[in-house]
Structure formats: structure tokens, C-alpha cells
């Protein structure tokens, strides 16, 4: 075991979950007789969680609801998504090979996602990826979630690692903010759901394909040794 930990965001980083999240949102919108959404509308807010996906969609359609109604719609969204979590979701190119390579080298691997823990575990199991991870920390695993650094530090600790020998891989502002606050270097993928130019986020490195992940991780760990 080399002692280093690599922590991954899930949606938009490891897996393109946009199509299935959009289908769950459209299930809610159909019940409200509102216009349907496209994946490109949903992806920029995926990192904020399911509640934000619904709130943003309803706001764009001028549909105001109270907190109680929002909870009903959230339950409907989650029930539909749980049953259809891996219909059209796919790992990004090269991810499975890169992940297996890191595991073979003895890296500790963890997930730090704002998706609920049970959904993250279910998705990774259905994608046949869960076995590679030492820890899967969802948005409800700890009292705080990204961008709070406690979420990332908790994921590292659950995986048996230490922040001084860890690297984060993410795609959006909450990932970068959590990593910065935790003192952990951050790699941002260029194909994710950032919804804004990556230069605005100022990650330590930008990754364009998972074929280059091992090199990027090694480069950042070398800077800390």
C-alpha cells in the first residue's frame, strides 16, 4: 500500500449521470404539467444535489412552491431516480481502466459526493465500481457536505488515509472549494458539469482524459513530498 488517497466526486467526474437525473426531474415536471428539461439544463446544478435540481427547474419555469410541496416533489424525484439510477448513466471514457490501475498500485480510493450515500452506493454497485472504493461518503454521511471541507476530510479518514497524502478529483466549484479549504490539491476534469470556465475555479491541474489521471495524481503528490 503506497499510503496515498485519491478522492473522487461522482456525478460529472466519474460518471455521466445527467441523463438519468434529467429523467427523474422530468418525472416531477410531468406531474406538474410543466415543460420538460434537457440534460444540459440539469448538469450545471448536479453538484448542488437533488433539491437544488428541482428548485432551479421550477424557478426557471416560474413555478413557486412552498417548503412542504418541495419535500413531496423531492420524494417523488428520489423514488423515481432510485428505480432508474443506471439506465443511461455511463462512466466517462477511460475511468474504469484508470480506477483499476490506481487500485492495483495500492492507492486508497474514496468517493466524496453530495448525492445521498445510499444512492451513491447503489449507483456504484450497479456500475460494478463499488468494490474499488475504501469509502463512499455521500451528502448525508456527515453533518456537513461539500463545499464544507469536513466532508472531504471525513471521506479521507473513512478510507484510512491522511489529508497530507491525498488528492481530490472533481468537476465543479463545490469540489474545488472543499479541497482548497481542506488543504488538499484538486484536479478538475474538463468534461464535467462545472457550468463555468475551469479557469474561474483555478484547480491545481485540469484533466482532459482519464488516461492521464495517474500522471496527474503522481505530479501533485510529488509536490507535497
Residue with cell 489521471: 213
Q: Determine contact, residues 217/108, Cβ cutoff 8 Å.
A: no
**Cα(167)–Cα(109) distance, rounded to whole angstroms?**
10
Q: Is 20 a catalytic residue?
A: no
Residue of 9, 11, 20, 204 with catalytic role:
9
Residue 222, classified by CB atoms within 10 Å of its CB into exposed (0-12), middle (13-18) or buried (19+), is exposed
58/47 Cα distance (integer angstroms): 17
3-state secondary structure of 132: helix
129, 166, 175, 182, 204 from 103: Cα distances, Å: 11, 14, 22, 24, 23
Strands 166-170 and 205-207: unpaired
* 168 beta partners: 7, 186
Q: Which residues are catalytic?
A: 9
Amino acid at each position: 500500500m503506497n499510503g496515498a488517497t485519491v478522492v473522487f466526486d461522482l456525478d460529472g467526474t466519474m460518471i455521466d449521470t445527467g441523463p438519468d437525473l434529467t429523467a427523474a426531474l422530468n418525472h416531477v415536471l410531468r406531474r406538474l404539467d410543466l415543460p420538460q428539461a434537457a440534460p444540459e439544463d440539469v448538469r450545471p446544478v448536479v453538484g448542488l444535489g437533488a433539491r437544488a435540481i428541482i428548485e432551479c427547474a421550477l424557478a426557471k419555469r416560474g413555478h413557486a412552491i412552498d417548503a412542504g410541496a418541495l419535500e413531496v416533489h423531492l420524494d417523488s424525484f428520489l423514488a423515481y431516480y432510485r428505480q432508474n439510477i443506471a439506465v443511461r448513466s455511463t462512466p466517462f471514457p477511460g475511468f474504469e481502466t484508470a480506477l483499476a490501475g490506481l487500485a492495483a498500485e495500492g492507492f486508497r480510493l474514496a468517493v466524496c459526493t453530495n448525492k445521498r450515500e445510499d444512492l451513491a452506493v447503489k449507483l456504484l454497485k450497479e456500475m460494478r465500481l463499488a468494490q474499488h472504493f475504501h469509502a463512499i461518503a455521500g451528502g448525508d454521511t456527515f453533518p456537513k457536505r461539500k463545499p464544507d471541507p469536513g466532508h472531504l476530510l471525513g471521506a479521507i479518514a473513512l478510507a484510512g488515509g491522511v489529508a497530507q497524502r491525498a488528492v481530490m478529483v472533481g468537476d465543479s466549484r463545490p469540489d474545488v472549494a472543499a479541497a482548497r479549504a481542506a488543504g488538499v490539491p484538486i484536479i478538475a476534469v474538463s468534461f464535467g458539469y462545472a457550468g463555468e470556465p475551469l479557469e474561474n475555479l483555478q484547480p491545481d491541474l485540469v484533466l482532459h482524459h482519464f488516461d492521464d489521471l495517474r500522471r496527474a495524481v503522481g505530479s501533485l503528490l510529488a509536490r507535497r513530498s
